[in-house]
Amino acid sequence: MKIAFIASECDPFVKTGGLADVVGSLPLELAASGNKVCVILPYYRSIKSGGFKIDMFFESMCVWMGDKEEWCAVKKLKDSATVEFYFIEFDEYFDREGIYCDNANNDYADNAKRYSFFSRAALQLLKDMDFKPDIVHVHDWQTAPVCAYLKIWDWGENEIADTKSVLTIHNIGYQGVHPADTYNYTGLRWENFVSSKFEAHGAVNFLKGGIYFADIVTTVSPAYAKETLFGEQSYGMGPYLYEKGNKYVGILNGVDYSQWDPSVDRHIPFNFDHSNMSGKAKCKKVLQERFELEVNEKIPLLGVVSRFAHQKGLDILAQTIEAVLNSMEVQIVVLGSGDKELENYYFGLSERMKGKAGCHIGYSNELAHLIEAGSDFFVMPSRYEPCGLNQIYSLRYGTLPIVRNTGGLSDTVEQYDEKTGEGTGFKFDNLTPNSLYDTIGWAVSTYFDRPYHMKKMIKTAMIKDFSWKNSSKKYEEIYRQLSR
């Protein structure tokens, strides 16, 4: 089959979170099993200056947006091995410091224009070049409009008119809600600005329109698919997803073990695997040194790598971590950025509790890998978690996850059984500082009092297989079902 991925992020070109990991790895797996796959991305400033070998593909391409024509260019990655990568170049929208927001963490005011344009331009590219996909696979609100453009645009006799769409929701908390006066620019026609399609509470909602027009909607874990059908976890989309019936499914994300496996990881100072863990102890030492913690192999070390967003529950951790550090023999390192209050809090914590708490505000892939490798436990107290990749990486690094029992965290972490030592982590239900305190306490006491159970869990965790092998087959089944 021919499959075109259209997305706003893709590792290694541009990444703010797990979406990039998925778009950076699933296409490779699909291509490896014989499909023809391309990926289309915006040509952001960070890609321009990222040192990639990129050629001009179309010097100018006209993209009709309702009643305005925009002229852009298209670039293509040179020497793509199996998957082809195309970039829509339109400096007015994409040559900016940030991806979705400015340095102060405020969303760009013209995001509706930026991503409706990108969605429309990606289809124009597919129409104009020699790649007529059976399926376009789009991701989150940014490219959800693609599903509508495919269905409502007059594509003439072109084969693209028959292309089917799959919309994957990586995070229902972000829906692309924009003021109604941005709708005209999209060219999505006012008859679709109704509450079953693009309209919600008088505003434009890109995700909602995408859900309506997509041939199949997926999300990134079976548990999250259930959670998003009803109640507050659905962020208002429940009825529309319910309406899709069996055209809404949860498929667990896979991970790319060529990037995230301690036996081959190029970012960590010492490699290791479950049969020889000496490298992990050495990584822990390096990590403790990097964050100026007391260098002591025997003190359990908690790691956090996260966007500082409401979703991630790091405000709850902030309410209990000082009590944890004061009452237990344990250390913590935190890597992340986003919410300014949380940035200040965790930075302040590392100043107040030097030697016990370390913090790096910002984005660092190298540190993310080191934290996975050098920590004993990985903390994710998420309010909701569509899939979550970090806990899956943690499992492979023998870094036992301490997680809220929600979404993909429920699906991927198995609760520790204190009688048998079975399980791969520590889960809690109530998102309160007390529950989190108790669960960290449970993990720390297991570390000190039941080292034989720790050993058993670490081994169980490290040999779990969350590679794309299984999940990419599930996507292929869906594509095939649609293209019949």
Residues at the site binding ligand GLC, with contacts judged by CB under 6 A: 17-19, 22, 170-171, 220, 253, 385-389, 408
147 is in the binding site of which of ligand GLC, ligand ADP, none (Cβ under 5 to 8 A by kind)?
Answer: none
Cα 359 from Cα 365, distance rounded (Å): 15
Closer to ligand ADP by CB, 146 or 305: give it. Answer: 305
Residue 344 burial (10 A CB sphere; 0-12, 13-18, 19+): exposed
In whole angstroms, the minimum distance from the beta carbon of 331 to ligand GLC comes to 26
For ligand GLC, the closer of residues 121 and 304 by Cβ is 304
- Identify which of residues 58 and 363 has a Cβ nearer to ligand GLC in the complex: 363
Q: Which residues bind ligand ADP (CB under 6 A)?
A: 17-19, 21, 305-307, 335-337, 363-365, 368, 387-390
**Could you give the CA distance from residue 398 to residue 185 in angstroms, rounded to a whole number?**
50
Residue number, 21 or 70, with CB nearest to ligand ADP: 21
Q: Which does 220 bind (CB under 5 to 8 A by kind): ligand ADP, ligand GLC, none?
A: ligand GLC
Q: What is the rounded end-to-end Cα distance, in angstroms, of the chain?
A: 11
Establish whether the linkage from the previous residue to 42 is cis, with ω within 30° of 0: no
364 binds, among ligand ADP, ligand GLC, none (CB under 5 to 8 A by kind): ligand ADP
Instruction: CB nearer to ligand GLC: give 111 or 171.
Output: 171
Asked if 457 and 416 touch (Cβ cutoff 8 Å), the reply is: yes
Number of CB atoms found within 10 A of residue 17's CB: 15
CB of 140 to ligand GLC, least distance (A): 8
CB of 391 to ligand ADP, least distance (A): 7
* Least distance (Å) between residue 346 CB and ligand ADP: 11
Q: Which is nearer to ligand ADP, 300 or 388 (CB)?
A: 388
Please answer whether residues 253 and 220 qualify as being in contact, where contact means their C-beta atoms are separated by less than 8 angstroms: yes
* Angle (nearest 5°) at CA 39 between 35 and 44: 170
- What is the closest distance, in whole angstroms, from the C-beta atom of residue 20 to ligand ADP in the complex? 7
Least Å distance between CB 364 and ligand ADP?
A: 5
CA–CA dist 220, 63 (Å, integer): 31
Q: Contact 138/144 with Cβ under 8 angstroms? A: yes
Q: Which residue is nearest to ligand GLC (CB)?
A: 18
Alpha helices for 214-249 (secondary structure H) = 222-227, 238-243
Q: State the binding partner of 411 from ligand GLC, ligand ADP, none, CB within 5 to 8 A by kind.
A: none
> Which of 305/444 has CB closer to ligand ADP?
305
Exposed/middle/buried for residue 136 (C-beta within 10 Å: 0-12, 13-18, 19+)? buried
* Amino acid, res. 260: W
Closest approach of ligand GLC to the CB of residue 303, in Å? 17
If we measure between CA atoms, which residue out of 335, 446, 458, 334 comes closest to residue 396? 458
